Amino acid sequence: MMRSLSTMSSQLRNAARRLRDTSGQFALMTAILAPVAITLAAFAVDAGSLYVEKRRAQALVDLAAITAAANIGKAEQAALVTFADNGATDAASENSVQVITGHYDRTGAVPKARFVAGAKPTNAAKVFYRTTGSRYFAGAIIPPPEIMVSAIAGTEAEAAFSVGSRLAALNGGIVNALLGGLTGSSISLSVMDYNALLDADVSLLSFLDQLAIDLNLGAGSYREALDATVTVGQIAKSLSKTPGMSGNAKAAAGKLSFQASSGKAPTLRLSRLIDLGQSRGELLAAHIEQIAADVGVLEILALSAVVAGKGKQVALDLGANVPGLLAVTVDLAIGEPPQQSPWLRIGSDGDIVRTAQTRLSLVAEIGGLGGLLGAKIRIPLYLELAFAEARLKSVTCPSGSPANVTVSVEARPGIANLYLAEVNPAKIVDFANPAPRAPARLVQMPLVNVTAQAHAEIAEMHYKTLAFSAPDIASGKIKQVSTQAIVGSLTKSLFSSLQLDINVIGLGIGLPSNLTGLLGQTIGAAAPALDTVLANLLSTLGLALGQADVRVHGANCGRAVLVQ
């Protein structure tokens, strides 16, 4: 027993001695590990600080991208001002900011490919920002890292604009004959009816709502309404029910609806005339409401008839209704408008609208000369009119308020060629080939045959920029681009190049010695009357000789937002 106690006591003393021996090892370990722990703590603090700095840099580049997109014309300058205003003074001095403008398509299937640098129309800005992070504790060990962030912001500034809005006071008989021929109906509206329609504007959105109801589309999209097959009569019916029109305009539209609803009436899709732009025609087209596009009632009706009657030859006998002319007959052919180029479009920078190509053969009769035994003089004219076009250049709000919106549109008139020549009316409908022309037979008698030829052209190859202010848009102001090639009457210019060929068979018929001069004077005197006929016919189609007429129906600058 004593031996056991002695052994235990010895073991306890040894254990105590060993504990005293290892106390120095813990102190040594603590001395070695303390710097490591402090270094790790420093790294942790620096990492947290760098995270905060990167978040701040990202917020700053987001703000710069939004500002650049909102001022897309001066994107880089706007971004640099944003950095400077937020204390990033190194942005400009060290060239650490890069701004790239381009086009952003929100419908792209691959998100990373939706932004295309340098693409048109320009509606987005991508901003890169590079800066050096801060290391407060570990800077002596590891160099400060580079922080790189980027952001893309876009805007959807849009305007509703159209080309070929040349509708003025109209001759009722000519319009009735023309619209009747295009629609295959018997149209008999009065000048008062046409003027009531001419003075009426309706909301595009309200009209499409009413058309959708009349077509029983239910809760479909606007795209369904635009793609539905309709007649001019159905369009007139929906217009007559659309809120906002005067009583006279509603009554006139109702008359046209009844008269143009024959069983053989040609059909059309309004999508050939109207493009709703980026909304894709969805039911909730909030941006259409923001743009608040108002459209002319007579423009919709006349241009719907043009599209419905595309490729159709219309023969018009205007009789002796034109002062200064004994008789007038017209053959008219209208080509299909270019694909993807409607008359009215809600679009952004670079979008284009165009009119349709037109060919017109007109034969007028005027009084003859006493020396020609009272023979009548025929004046056969042939007109080829290429499409006019307008291109949206920019939509801006200089002060940031829609009340100060400014819309710039580039436009040029279509090329017009007018000939004094004979053409086969059956050949003018083939727009793929030029119509064959022959010298005009002015006078044809048993012993006297007078032929002539002449040509005049209006051509403008360059765009001219038109600026529309908010008051211009609100008032529906129409602005024109005219060619400088020919000033004044195109018909008068045509007759100034008149070349006559008089063939006399037999002798002693007593022709005046100055027959050529008298013929030239007589034909030239008919120029104003012929100008009136051409102007009335073309104005009903929304066209003009040597002139493109542009209207901006509404605009919205949109709001720049982050997209990536």
Using only C-alpha atoms, the chain has a radius of gyration, in whole angstroms, of: 39
Residue 23 has pLDDT above 60, yes or no: no
In this prediction the pTM is: 0.70
pLDDT confidence bin for 16, thresholds 50/70/90: low
- Tens digits of per-residue pLDDT, 425-452? 888 888 878 888 999 888 767 667 788 8
Q: Which residue has the tokens 């008298």?
A: 518
**What pLDDT score does 510 carry?**
45
Span of 343-357, 389-403, 464-478, 519-533 with lowest mean pLDDT? 389-403
**What pLDDT score does 286 carry?**
43
**Could you count the other beta carbons within 10 Å of the beta carbon of residue 227?**
15
**What pLDDT score does 410 carry?**
92
pLDDT confidence bin for 97, thresholds 50/70/90: confident
| Rounded percentage of the chain residues whose pLDDT exceeds 70 | 76
pLDDT confidence bin for 95, thresholds 50/70/90: confident
pLDDT confidence bin for 18, thresholds 50/70/90: low
Residue 281 has pLDDT above 60, yes or no: no
Distance spanning both ends of the chain, measured CA to CA: 87
- Tens digits of per-residue pLDDT, 68-82? 887 877 888 888 888
Alpha helices (H) along 115-220: 172-183, 191-198, 204-214
**Could you count the other beta carbons within 10 Å of the beta carbon of residue 283?**
12
- Tens digits of per-residue pLDDT, 357-374? 888 898 888 876 655 556
**What pLDDT score does 284 carry?**
41
pLDDT confidence bin for 465, thresholds 50/70/90: very high
**What pLDDT score does 7 carry?**
66
- Tens digits of per-residue pLDDT, 182-223? 888 888 888 888 888 888 888 888 888 888 888 887 655 677
Does an H or E element contain 154, and which? strand 146-154
| Alpha carbons 176 and 178: distance in angstroms, whole number | 6
Mean pLDDT of 342-370: 81
CA 492 to each of CA 10, 231, 239, 369, 476: distance values in angstroms, whole numbers, following the listed order: 138, 39, 40, 20, 32
Mean pLDDT of 499-519: 63
- Tens digits of per-residue pLDDT, 159-186? 888 888 666 556 667 788 888 888 888 8
